[in-house]
């Protein structure tokens, strides 16, 4: 049995949060600003671009390249470890509309699900499609993921109705966990 002990608390009003493997915490506050706290609870970075739209996802699985996703506009922003903007692109410019989520890839690219084409895509940080895999041949349903993440050379797509879909590092379907 594991016993958890409170290490530190940070009183803040936030819409959501995520963490990275090094112990940093990333909070999205109500004003749509992203704040990064280190493992000691000290604020070490702020990203505030309110005019761009609502931040719907923060992927900090790579703490040196944090990805912000603004689903309403299809905007993807790449930040460095200090939350400075390094690059940005729009999925809509690539013909991808209504993408629900995306995920950092261990090889430095980005996984994106295109619901219109029911395809799993890998794009680079310049917004170019590198790989595409149609999922229609594998399923008798259209996936509706709420989140995706890559871990141990596997991509996991979480669908609230169909369960968790697992793909290998190349985007090939492996299995489903109901």
What pLDDT score was predicted for residue 52?
77
CA dist., res. 143 & res. 126, Å (int): 26
At 10 the pLDDT is: 77
**From CA 72, how far away is CA 53, in angstroms rounded?**
7
pLDDT, averaged per 10 consecutive residues of the chain (178 residues), comes to 85 90 93 91 89 90 96 95 96 96 96 96 96 91 95 96 95 94
Give helix then strand counts, H and E, for the chain.
0, 16
Distances (CA, A) of 84 to 23, 24, 71, 80: 19, 16, 20, 5
Q: Please report the pLDDT score of residue 97 as a whole number.
A: 95
Q: From CA 160, how far away is CA 141, in angstroms rounded?
A: 13
Q: Report pLDDT for 8.
A: 78
């Amino acid at each position: 049995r594991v016993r958890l002990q409170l290490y530190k608390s940070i009183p803040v009003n936030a819409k959501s949060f995520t963490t990275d493997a090094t112990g940093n915490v990333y909070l999205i506050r109500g004003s749509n600003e992203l704040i990064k706290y280190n493992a000691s609870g000290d604020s070490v970075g702020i990203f505030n671009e309110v005019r761009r739209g609502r931040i719907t996802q923060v992927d900090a699985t790579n703490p040196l390249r944090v990805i912000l996703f603004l689903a309403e506009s299809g905007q993807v922003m790449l930040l460095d470890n200090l939350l400075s903007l390094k690059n940005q692109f729009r999925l809509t410019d690539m013909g991808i509309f209504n993408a629900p989520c995306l995920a950092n890839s261990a090889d430095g690219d980005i996984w994106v699900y295109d619901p219109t084409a029911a395809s799993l895509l890998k794009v680079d940080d310049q917004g170019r499609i590198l790989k595409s895999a149609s999922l229609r041949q594998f399923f008798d349903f259209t996936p509706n993921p709420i989140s995706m993440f890559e871990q141990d050379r596997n991509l996991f797509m979480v669908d609230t109705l169909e369960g968790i879909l697992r793909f290998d590092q190349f985007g090939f379907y492996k299995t489903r966990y109901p």
